[in-house]
Amino acid sequence: MSTDPHVVDCGTPAVRLTVDAGVAELRLDRPRVNAIDAEVVEGLRRAADWLSTAEEAAAVVLTGGDRVFAAGADIKQMAGLDHAAAVGWSGRLQSTFAMLAGLPQPVVAAVAGYALGGGCELALCADVRFAAEDAVLGQPEILLGVIPGAGGTQRLSRLVGPSRAKELVLTGRQVPAPEALAIGLVDRVLPAGEVLAAAHEWARQFVGGPRLALRAAKEAVDQGLEVALPVALEIERQQFAALFATEDRTRGMQSFLERGPGKAEFRGR
């Protein structure tokens, strides 16, 4: 795995993807509030497509910067949509976010400032969420006469439960970081100046890790949530057994027997 910084072309300056020492940082950079428009969605799509097969990226940090994660969709752009255009826009948005949610790498969102509407839905695509003390999350779409359209009604309810999700979606109220932590919407709250560094530190633990096993673990959890328990257990069984065909499994178990836990050198094969 290369340790040289690598900048990936996402087709727009509004989405920046860099890989340094095995950790990818996917950053929204559309001043002032990282509003999500068609250009941003296309950039995220290109980033997700590249990351989906990038062996040099062991983990991903998703961020919008120090002051705002993403304050939502570009309302000026959406206001001009008719029904047919909205069908196309929501399909493109959902499929792009699904690509991000389905990345094989562990993904951590570093949320500072506002993560509202599409911004909150983007954070929900990560495996874990670290929030700054000043972060505010929410799904305020109802205040515009619509509902979340990029996974907010579904990923949010799976994360915090249907009752809490309904309360947030029906009222559109904004949730400060301490409450977000209490209800499980975020996993850690840190001082504003530390959240991005903490996210990178979390991501670095996966560099040199068993890439195929990490992917299998994510798939087993995510796919299992969508089916009945007996089917989910069969998904887990198949993923578990399949890893016995990998070099990493052989290395991991041999290292354990010879040197104890936590000393294996994995190859990602």
List 64, 72, 101, 121, catalytic entry: 121
Closest CA to 62 of 40, 44, 39, 89: 44
Nearest-angstrom CA–CA distance, 60 and 81? 33
Dihedral in degrees, nearest 10, Cα atoms 133, 135, 137, 140: 130
241 is catalytic: no
Report the phi/psi class of residue 117: left, alpha or beta, with left for phi > 0 and alpha for psi in -120 to 50.
left
Handedness of CA 14, 201, 197, 132 (dihedral sign): positive
List 141, 150, 151, 180, catalytic entry: 141
What are the φ and ψ backbone dihedral angles of 70, each rounded to 5 degrees? -165, 125
Q: Assign 16 to helix, strand or coil.
A: strand
Specify the amino acid at residue 30: R
247 is catalytic: no
List 113, 118, 152, 252, catalytic entry: 118
List 59, 73, 126, 150, catalytic entry: 73
118 is catalytic: yes
260 is catalytic: no
Report the catalytic residues.
73, 118, 121, 141
